[in-house]
Amino acid sequence: MAFQVSPGVLVQEKDLTNIVPAVSTSIGAYAFNSTRGPVGEITLISNEQELVSVFGKPTKDNFEEYFTASSFLQYSNALKVVRTENTGIKNAVTNSGTALLIKNGNDYNTAYLASGAYTGISGIEFVARNAGAYGNGLSVSVCPSATAYEVKGVTTVNDSAVAAGDTQITVTSGTNIGVGDIIAFSSSAGTDDYDDGQEYEVTAVATNDLTIKRRTGSGGLTRIITNGANVRRRWKYYDQVSGAPGTSPDVSAAGGSGDEMHIVVVDSDGTINGTSGEVLEKFENVSKASDAKDAQGSNNFYPEVIFKKSSLIYWGDHNSNGTNWGNAKANTTFTDVTAPISLTFTGGVDGTASDGVRKTAFELFQDGETVDVSLIMAGNASATLIGDLITIAETRKDCVVFASPQRADVVGIASAITQTNNVLDFFNGIRSSSYVVFDSGYKYMYDRYNDVFRYVPLNGDMAGLTARTDLTNDSWFSPAGLNRGIIRGASKVAYNPNKTQRDELYRARINPVVSFPGQGIVLFGDKTGLTTPSAFDRINVRRLFITLEKAISTASKFQLFEFNDEFTRANFRNIVEPFLREIQGRRGITDFLVVCDETNNTGEVIDRNEFVAEIFIKPARSINFITLSFVATRTGVSFDEVAG
């Protein structure tokens, strides 16, 4: 405290209202092999529609992984997803260039657009934004000038033998007409009177011979074309934009000209949206000038616009004929490329997923200080990968892994005895930990995207039940049983253990998932993967302590760099004890004791700049066994005599 030199009143405040903050306990974490979406980057997904929109629909190769995520989203609206960086994965590129991997937007921005450097990818005009084969279904068409948009009288008809229905016509010169162009003919020789209702798409050009088809409908020419009639050529997608590109007001004001262009992204073969030739994205009147602005003052340079607005492509390099594209706008007359630029994408490869690839993806969740997750789903994982995920959870100490046996252990096996032995053998190979939860198998569910039924691992549902329990009750309630453990979206399970088999599984720390007639498919156990008999061999106790530790440790950060004296220690107790009483009132604990005084904060502790608090907890226990004793007595016997 500063000393006052002259008399006066000094007003100070001391805040003793600190409380233990609420913490998240129901955020899922998952890494899987998808057909699209950012690679090696955490994306928050709130529902299945978003999952499909970002990462694509399930395929025959990834449905297990996909439906693990979608199963979780049936119970919760918070899932953090990472797309795995498969071995050999590549983005599709144009110009028949060499495919490369651009993992995500940050990767692209750092390598090619950082600080306005626009280094580009030499010789490749565009790159598919989604790594993998998905990008091979794209094409791009660029209208770089007003001339490329439309030319009247580009050539004349040189064919006197034209009949209605013909699909070929000869012109004076086919040099300025390309495949995909839209052409129309003047109504009579030497006029500019074009009938806009009669347009044709050029499908092939052989010198001066054009192969055409009616743009709408089917067939060839609708009428006889007069020899010598003028031909008008238009860009194939001219009716998708507001008009021909020209000079933007911003560039014109700086003394430049010819900077505008149109770009459309097309579903070339119907694999993207289901309709071949459908325009998926369009960018009108974007600029070739690196410093151009639009009417709202935003950057209008076409690589930047595409980066910010496209979900399908990245800019790669300027067209080879656009020799000054990318220059500053001042006094620049931008190169007039007079023909549309048509580009197809090739070279996209999905790559091969492996345990190592998935482990790397899951490791993005390992920093508990920067990534908030609570429930890690293993999907269809090997014992080795499950062990790696347990290590992540144990390092973080604030989340739990959910794991299922492998498909071959339970699916397609007629003998329940064999299934039991397979499941036991699989999980016996995984080390003991209270930070993992094992289930007994796979559910059978309908894949509406492919109109088939699939077997899917149950760990997405286990994590989902846990998340839903957090939302409807609290994290210290068990997610199992007929009240909170009903599985959604399942018609049956691959392995339905009977009572004897359930006993074997439970002794081996495996939670059975059971189909009860008339009651549904139910998670019928709440053990963790801990082999040692302990309070922590139950899900609810492990997650109770995760909640307590996460919340109290967060609150404790406010004690850092304060003095270790009775004032600070009393303040800590006043923060923690009301929080624990609240948890006790919500049935999470039966009793507690907080010790934070001179007995555990000795002089030696204080001199080491440490602060010690001991928090003793008696956790509430879930009921796993019910004993009902029915006693028959003689009529004349008093219940007081026998009840004791």
Residue whose entry in the numeric block shows the structure tokens 């009579």: 188
What's the pLDDT at 115? Answer: 61
Task: State both tokens at 294.
Answer: 């639009």
Cα pseudo-dihedral 521, 524, 527, 528, rounded to 10:
0
What's the pLDDT at 9? Answer: 77
pLDDT tens digits for range 257-310: 999 999 999 999 999 988 999 999 999 999 999 999 999 999 999 999 999 999
487-523 b/e with 16+ CB inside 10 Å = b?
A: bebbeebbbbbeeebbeebbebbbbbbbbeeeeebbb
Task: State both tokens at 504.
Answer: 């074997």
Whether the pLDDT of residue 116 is over 70: the answer is no
Which residues, in sequence order, are bridge partners of residue 183?
200, 233
User: Looking at residue 587, what DSSP letter applies?
Assistant: T
User: Looking at residue 388, what DSSP letter applies?
Assistant: H
Handedness of CA 423, 428, 429, 434 (dihedral sign): positive
Angle, helices 383-396/355-362, rounded to nearest 10 degrees: 10
- Tell me how far apart the 2 most distant CA atoms of the chain are, in Å: 123
Given the DSSP bridges, would you call strands 126-128 and 168-170 parallel, antiparallel or unpaired?
unpaired
Helix, strand, or coil (residue 339): coil
Residue whose entry in the numeric block shows the structure tokens 């899922």: 28
pLDDT tens digits for range 555-569: 888 888 989 999 999
CA distance 75 to 488: 8
What's the pLDDT at 94? Answer: 95
Q: Residue 560 contacts by C-beta under 8 Å, 6 or more apart in sequence? A: none
Q: What mean pLDDT comes out for the span 235-263?
A: 97
CA-CA distances (angstroms) from residue 510 to 104, 384, 393, 552?
A: 38, 17, 18, 31
Secondary structure E strands in 381-538: 400-403, 436-439, 442-447, 452-457, 492-493, 510-511, 513-516, 520-523
First vs last C-alpha separation in the chain? 69
Q: What mean pLDDT comes out for the span 611-638?
A: 84
Report which of 519, 513, 517 is spatially closest to residue 496, judged by C-alpha positions: 513
CA distance 620 to 475: 12
pLDDT tens digits for range 301-353: 999 999 999 999 999 999 999 999 999 999 999 999 999 999 999 999 999 98
CA distance 439 to 68: 13
Residue whose entry in the numeric block shows the structure tokens 């495996």: 510
Angle, helices 416-428/499-507, rounded to nearest 10 degrees: 10
Angle, helices 566-585/539-556, rounded to nearest 10 degrees: 150
Task: Give the model's confidence band at 2: pLDDT under 50 very low, under 70 low, under 90 confident, else very high.
Answer: low
**Conformation bin of residue 297: beta by default, left when phi > 0, alpha when psi is -120 to 50:** left
Q: What mean pLDDT comes out for the span 568-585?
A: 93
Q: Residue 454 contacts by C-beta under 8 Å, 6 or more apart in sequence? A: 63, 64, 67, 444, 445, 446, 447
* SS (HEC) of 273-297: CCCCCEEEEEEEEEECCCCCECCCC
183 residue type, one letter = I
CA distance 71 to 54: 17
Rg (CA), the chain: 34
Angle, helices 459-472/63-73, rounded to nearest 10 degrees: 10
Whether the pLDDT of residue 547 is over 70: the answer is yes
Report which of 505, 117, 37 is spatially closest to residue 315, judged by C-alpha positions: 117
CA distance 465 to 473: 11
CA distance 69 to 437: 17
Residue whose entry in the numeric block shows the structure tokens 């999952």: 51
Report which of 352, 137, 404 is spatially closest to residue 265, judged by C-alpha positions: 137
Q: Residue 544 contacts by C-beta under 8 Å, 6 or more apart in sequence? A: 475, 476, 583, 588, 589, 617, 619, 620
Task: State both tokens at 528.
Answer: 């963790």
Q: Picking from 116-130, 280-294, 587-601, 622-636, which range would have the lowest pLDDT averaged per residue?
A: 622-636
Report which of 569, 643, 581, 580 is spatially closest to residue 613, judged by C-alpha positions: 569
Burial of 14 (0-12, 13-18, 19+ CB in 10 A): exposed
Task: State both tokens at 469.
Answer: 């329990």
pLDDT tens digits for range 169-223: 999 999 889 999 999 998 877 788 887 678 999 999 999 999 999 988 788 998 8
Q: What mean pLDDT comes out for the span 629-636?
A: 79
Task: State both tokens at 66.
Answer: 């996909």
Report which of 97, 102, 99 is spatially closest to residue 85, judged by C-alpha positions: 102
CA distance 441 to 458: 6
* SS (HEC) of 232-268: EEECCCHHHCCCCCCCCHHHHHCCCECCEEEEEEEEC
Whether the pLDDT of residue 1 is over 60: the answer is no
* SS (HEC) of 26-91: CCEEEEECCCCCCECCEEEECCHHHHHHHHCCCCCCCHHHHHHHHHHHCCCCCEEEEECCCECCEE
What's the pLDDT at 644? Answer: 64
Q: Residue 327 contacts by C-beta under 8 Å, 6 or more apart in sequence? A: 288, 289, 290, 334
Q: What mean pLDDT comes out for the span 379-383?
A: 95
Which residues, in sequence order, are bridge partners of residue 445?
454
